[in-house]
Amino acid sequence: MARWHRYNLFRLFRKRAVILMYHRVATPTLDPWQLAVSPAAFEEHLDVLRTHAHVLPLAELVDKIKENKLDKNYVAITFDDGYIDNYETAAPLLEKFALPATFFITNKNIDTPTEFWWDELASILLESPTLPKEITLPRTEDSFHFDLGNDAFLTAEKSKQYRAYIAWEPFDARTQLYSKLWEYISPLPDVQQRNALAAIRKWAGVGPLCRAAYRSVTASELKLLSSNPLFTIGAHTASHPALAHHSAQYQEHEIRSNKLFLEQLVGEPVSLFAYPSGNLDATIPALVRQLGFSAAFTTRGENITPRSALGTLGRFQVNEQTGEEFRRALAHWFNT
């Protein structure tokens, strides 16, 4: 009996999969949320995956979960948001290694030069040479006020430090202000987010940044991406809201309109969904299922087992690391 028990525990241990979550394959000057992996590092990651893992299309992995057919070393690759470097840099490297990936796309900025608000906010606060000492913004229940003090002026030393700044570890007035403004803007609906960012631009004395390296894919680029048999397009809401902060009606509109937009663009059903920033509550997975998605994915670092719920499948965010560091991380994630 003991031998049988150990054997079955081993079989359970082996039946795990890992879903990887990337955002960008690029080398931005600022990366407070650690969203970017350099092209050189990404190529090393793909070499590790080709050698040490069985990389499946995400939809195929979902089918394996449904059918209780998980096996050893299954991995799926995903990208969130739809940055241009997914098309220009990540896709060619994935083709080079013949590895499939799913791209979860937010459509608000498609065919516009507009950046995601969190990127523009970081540049305004952490790259502007001089900012007004104080900022006051209106809010529904009160006002937002912050004093930058001496950090209103950007020194060369601070500029260097900001390149290594991580969002959850603010260390001076500018990084504290970034953190507070991110928390202020994140739960707002899209129109209010845009209004808040416009007010911050006005305070800082800058216009919209519209940096080419930070734009989203265009419709034509997304069509080309989806035409490659290695790649699948998934839904990621229309404007990337923090879903749990909004009404059920707003949630449904964001998810449904995104799904319809993508399906009309790529000409095929879109059945996979990723929660923006992993933000959800207990009711949203049921809504996602009602809207016709076969599986949905969080940002929680959890591996996949036969018992994993299809509406809240975990993923591990991949940060900048060497191939060997990634290989060790992958082994750890399988055992987490």
167-224 pLDDT per residue, tens: 999 999 999 999 999 999 999 999 999 999 999 999 999 999 999 999 999 999 999 9
In angstroms, the Cα distances linking 144 to 2, 4, 164, 176, 200 are: 63, 63, 27, 13, 12
* Euclidean distance between CA atoms 45 and 20, whole angstroms: 11
> Quick check: 4 pLDDT over 80?
no
Q: Tell whether the model's pLDDT for residue 9 goes beyond 50.
A: no
Q: Is the pLDDT of residue 117 over 90?
A: yes
**pLDDT surpassing 90 at residue 138:** no
DSSP state of 130: B
Q: Report pLDDT for 139.
A: 67
Reported as type and span, the H/E element at residue 81 is strand 74-81
Structure tokens at 133: 């000492």
Q: HSE-up of 191 (CA within 13 Å, CB side)? A: 1
Q: Which fold has domain 10-111+214-335?
A: TIM Barrel (3.20.20)
CA 194 to each of CA 60, 149, 201, 265: distance values in angstroms, whole numbers, following the listed order: 38, 26, 10, 25
Cα separation, 204 vs 198, in Å, equals 10
Q: What mean pLDDT is predicted for residues 308-314?
A: 98
Please check the confidence at residue 143 and state whether its pLDDT lies above 50. yes
**CA angle (38, 50, 17) in 5-degree steps:** 95
pLDDT at 10 > cutoff 50:
no
Give the pairing type, strands 134-138 and 143-147. antiparallel
In the predicted structure, residue 7 carries a pLDDT above the cut 50: no
The CB density around residue 141, as the number of other CB atoms within 10 Å, is: 4
Longest CA–CA separation in the chain, Å: 74
How much is the pLDDT for 141?
64
> Domain-by-domain residue ranges, the chain?
10-111+214-335, 117-204
Q: What's the pTM?
A: 0.94
* Residue 5, pLDDT score: 42
